[in-house]
Chain A
């Protein structure tokens, strides 16, 4: 195996180990915490199933009997782990539908939103960062700095509310809420994207300034290489080495950040699922959602590691990127 092949294998093995560890930890933790949560799970589940004001003692009792909630906790956990090993996530306690189906549905929603927002953040942020880096200290740079601070200072929900007021309530251009069609994706993405673009802009600017000032870029110039090839071959790639790990972090923040936006725009995603599962004590859905979130973070980090390894062949001590 070549050294780089070994490096890739190392990254994958390390991340896979992390994934397994995190999966175990998250499942057990969720389970334990849910079992320590105040309130009787049977009542919560019954409320989730039959409507918030139709739950009563008999309904709770029948739920308890049906789901075996009176068994010892370790037995329930054991069952879940056994099923998980067979890649069976079980059925939702509330809706009785297969968890994999439900969580898969929410995952798609989250990924759609996250992907569009990330692209938006990247284009906005990287564009602004590159523009700012052309003349450090110049007008564009200072404007970009102002932008970075502003978007950092505004919580996404506030931005979302303002966007809704302007684009939906006042102008009537875009739907305020909804899920599934492209139009309803615009406002949520516009809510998330700019917030993230701030950090991207900042990192891009610093990376591009640093790379442009580097001796290899200077040397590429004096070799007689045309400016655009210098930018494409040297600046972009080396700036990407710095930027990609941050994009990974961004993606992770994004995955977490969607919960607010999901709530505001009635978008169906993992955050939504998580909040409901906690509220209703739907342990399998909660565990599966947490598991998916955690694994998603591991996957993003793995992708970042592999990408950085591909971009930058230098050996390094691999630190987690976040």
Chain B
């Protein structure tokens, strides 16, 4: 009930916050990040093969067993997690920066700047993201991470642009900014006190979702074997490579699946708790 009928009760908090879910998500992400940072330093070379020990079952020295080339699944997992986290963070950061700056420019200046940026974004919207990623990664063949990074970032910036532009338009058109104009407080004030505080939580939510999207997109590209080259360890690639062995060596499949699921669920929980608070 949104009517003023409840004016009297408006001060009584109704929505439940979820600090528990948020804390669990943060804990999970910190653990994964620690694994991704420390793991590659401590563990064996992820591409070191020991062909005589292929598909070795988990043991005390190799807690996750070995894959079909006798490589350490744990070491590969650590590298894959690091790659997923780092590359996704980079893609999200780039897309966020690009989209936010363009969105604010568009909303602030309007006119031809807005028209041009909007036209570009509309074109990007209608060009399938898949095509962008495919073409860009084909453009830089040889499995360079740059292509993957560029492709994913390019496919995502529009999202930030549209949201930021719409939101900034609302904020900049608000009485608060009009009042700031009448008080001649200047653009720095508008950005610091109006735009940024308003956009920050929104961007946080979007970035958490963007991480999920990027991680999933990377693993999916790994699955269709676009963008990455062996022996690079990547979660999607690991899942795909391990699939034929799902019945003889389930540890190979379960480990990357668990990490992938944990990563996305933690980011989603973080997003949800942000939205609710």
Contacts and interface: CB of A to CB of B under 8 A. Distances in A.
Task: Say if the two chains contact directly (CB < 8 Å).
Answer: yes
Interface string B233-277: 000100110010010000000000100110011001100100000
Best-surrounded residue of B166, B223, B226 (most CB of chain A within 10 A): B223
Contacts of A152: 212, 264, 268
A21 B236 contact: no
Nearest to B15: A137
A215 B3 contact: yes
B130 A259 contact: yes
B112 to A, nearest CB: 16
A320 interface: yes
Interface string A156-180: 1110010001000000000000000
Interface in B1-41: 1-3, 16
B89 to A, nearest CB: 18
B264 A153 contact: yes
Contacts of B216: 155
B123 A158 contact: no
Contacts of B219: 155, 157-158
Interface string B105-147: 0000000000000010011011111110011001101000000
Interface residues of A, number: 49
Secondary structure of the A side of the interface?
Answer: helix
A149 B129 contact: no
B176 interface: no
B220 interface: yes
A30 B139 CA distance: 11
Given A22-B126, A158-B239, A36 B139 contact: yes
B246 A165 contact: yes
Given A22-B123, A158-B260, A275-B224, A153 B265 contact: yes
Contacts, number: 112
Nearest to B1: A213
Interface residues of B, number: 41
B269 A149 contact: yes
B138 to A, nearest CB: 5
Nearest to A321: B125
Contacts of B260: 155, 158
Contacts of A26: 126-127, 131
B130 A271 contact: yes
Interface string A272-294: 00110010000000000010011
A275 B3 CA distance: 54
Contacts of A37: 138-139, 141
B131 to A, nearest CB: 5
10 contacts: A25-B123, A149-B269, A153-B261, A155-B223, A158-B219, A213-B1, A255-B128, A260-B223, A274-B131, A275-B226
Given A158-B257, A275-B226, 19 more contacts: A22-B122, A22-B126, A26-B126, A29-B127, A39-B141, A154-B264, A155-B236, A158-B219, A158-B239, A161-B243, A263-B223, A264-B223, A275-B134, A290-B127, A290-B128, A290-B131, A294-B128, A298-B126, A301-B126
Interface of B: 1-3, 16, 119, 122-123, 125-131, 134-135, 138-139, 141, 162, 166, 212, 216, 219-220, 223-224, 226, 236, 239-240, 243, 246, 257, 260-261, 264-265, 268-269, 272
Q: Which A-B residue pairs are the 8 nearest by beta carbons?
A: A153-B264, A22-B126, A157-B223, A256-B130, A155-B216, A293-B128, A153-B265, A33-B135
